[in-house]
Amino acid sequence: MRPLRAVVALVLSGLVVPLVAQPAAADTWLETHNRVDQYVDAVYWDLFDRGPDPEGRTTWTSRLLAGTPRVAVANAITSSEEFRSGLISDAYDAYLGRAPETAGLQFWLRQMASGMTIEQLDAGFISSDEYWYGAGATRAGWVRALYADVLGRDAGDAEVAFWLDQLGRGATRTQVAMGFLLSTEYLTTVVEGYYWWLLGRGLDPTGRAGWVSAIQHGARDEQIIGGIIASDEYWATATARPFLSNIALSPVVGDVLLGGGQYYVVTANDRFGTPFEDVTDAAVVTIDGQPCPASYCVPTSVGTHRIEARYRGFLGTATLTAVAPQP
């Protein structure tokens, strides 16, 4: 989920997240309803990689139409168990290389509900015996693993020596882990990732410093993510997208000689059936249930084969017939 934070307006170093940013008054009720519906749909796909369930769509659409500030809705969604479960699963995968067991997931959900931040959550994994032994069970090996897994780079000898000195002076693994996780180097990458993920752009230097400082002073990542999806910029992007109604896979039918293959293109269509975006790179294309790398499908036997494309819950199908080469 992370690529891969109280309901208040956040004003940080020139970045303003409005409490209320409604569509223009000139919009008709139907246009407003459609825009709100598109916005809720975009939030669910961006945060959960799925469309909203009927109850969720009705709840959030109704609240927004009734005048509930977007930031209140956004923060309610990002503080949900479903969203936090994704954050916890990300931590398990990033630091332990596995999925969470049920008991572990529930434990961390309770901790986050009681106020634990994502950084504190990550520190719990990094300082665990499981991570320690996976890093070689030596202080130097563990510190170098932190540089690789948290900062995404190799450690210099002087850097390792610094943290070994801290450990030697009595610093705990948790304290050292938090030193990494609250560092400007790490948080800059995190916040930059949130912006590319949700807005498709990077941060300006002033904004970057504001958000990083906010986390370092106790702001939760969920609030910052909520602030981004509550912003006018996100709203404008989400409601400007044509409303996805279905996808089309082309060619619909085709023949190839056995041993050859066929490239496929996946197109997103609006509610009127008009193509508006090539989503081939984001779609999952398969032949008889097996992946087609780069959307190039190669049949392994003579006969007709089923091609499927899936994108944001929509399914497109085609058939490909393989014929034997002529002698």
Q: Yes or no: say if 154 and 147 are a contact pair by the CB < 8 Å rule.
A: yes
Q: Which pLDDT score, from 0 to 100, does residue 113 have?
A: 96
Last residue of a domain, one of 241, 273, 299: 241
Same domain, 185 and 108: yes
Same domain, 21 and 99: yes
Q: Is 64 part of any domain?
A: yes
- Distance CA(96)–CA(288), nearest Å, equals 34
Beta strand 253-257 with 314-323 is parallel
Residue 154, judged by CB atoms within 10 A of its CB (0-12, 13-18, 19+), counts as: exposed
Q: Is 83 part of any domain?
A: yes
Same domain, 203 and 265: no
Same domain, 11 and 86: yes
Q: Which pLDDT score, from 0 to 100, does residue 18 have?
A: 39
Q: Which pLDDT score, from 0 to 100, does residue 13 have?
A: 33
- Nearest one of 212, 219, 210 to 75, comparing CA atoms: 219
Same domain, 69 and 99: yes
Same domain, 4 and 92: yes
Last residue of a domain, one of 199, 225, 241: 241
- Distance CA(66)–CA(249), nearest Å, equals 39
Low-confidence ranges of the chain (pLDDT < 70): 1-27, 207
Q: Which pLDDT score, from 0 to 100, does residue 51 have?
A: 84
Whole-prediction pTM: 0.73
Q: Which pLDDT score, from 0 to 100, does residue 203 have?
A: 84
Which range of residues forms the domain containing residue 304?
Answer: 244-323
Same domain, 198 and 307: no
Same domain, 218 and 251: no
Last residue of a domain, one of 241, 269, 285: 241
Same domain, 199 and 81: yes
Q: Yes or no: say if 114 and 104 are a contact pair by the CB < 8 Å rule.
A: no
Same domain, 101 and 54: yes
Q: Which pLDDT score, from 0 to 100, does residue 27 have?
A: 53
Q: Is 261 part of any domain?
A: yes
- Nearest one of 5, 211, 3 to 121, comparing CA atoms: 5
Strand partners, 282: none
Residue 224, judged by CB atoms within 10 A of its CB (0-12, 13-18, 19+), counts as: buried
